[in-house]
Amino acid sequence: MNKTIANTLKAGAAAVLIITAAGCATNKTVQDARAAADKAEQDAQAAQRTASQALQAAQTAAAAKSAADAAQSTANQALQAAQAAQAGVDATNEKIDRVFKKSVSK
């Protein structure tokens, strides 16, 4: 995008030089060319601001993705811990049931 902006500015400047060098340019033509060059420069600056904002948004999105990845990792670890705890609870309940059944059958 910066290349396009630079090319636009170069083309505008070249147009002003050609018109001026031709010797047949009127004052109005030179003013029009300068106005076009000024407009091109303003457009280029606006494009640069937009590109900078887009870059900042991309960096923010990358940081958010990194935070989301870390949160997902933590959630996965919590799930594994919960599953391990549930397995322990299930084993304890089986032992209690066996002891209860043994005491009832006596």
Tell me the per-residue pLDDT of 53-98, one tens digit each, with 9 for 90 and over.
999 999 999 999 999 999 999 999 999 999 999 999 999 999 999 9
Q: Mean per-residue pLDDT for 4-24?
A: 61
Report in angstroms the alpha-carbon separations of 87 from 77, 78, 81, 83, 91.
Answer: 15, 14, 10, 6, 6
For the CA atoms of 51, 57, 63, 67, the dihedral, rounded to the nearest 10 degrees, stands at -160
Say yes or no to pLDDT of 23 above 70.
Answer: no
What is the model's pLDDT at position 9?
60
What is the model's pLDDT at position 30?
79
What is the model's pLDDT at position 46?
94
Token pair belonging to 59: 């960096």
Nearest to 69 by CA among 77, 57, 81: 77
What is the model's pLDDT at position 100?
86
Instruction: Estimate to the nearest angstrom the gap between the alpha carbon of 83 and the chain centroid.
Output: 36
Say yes or no to pLDDT of 10 above 80.
Answer: no
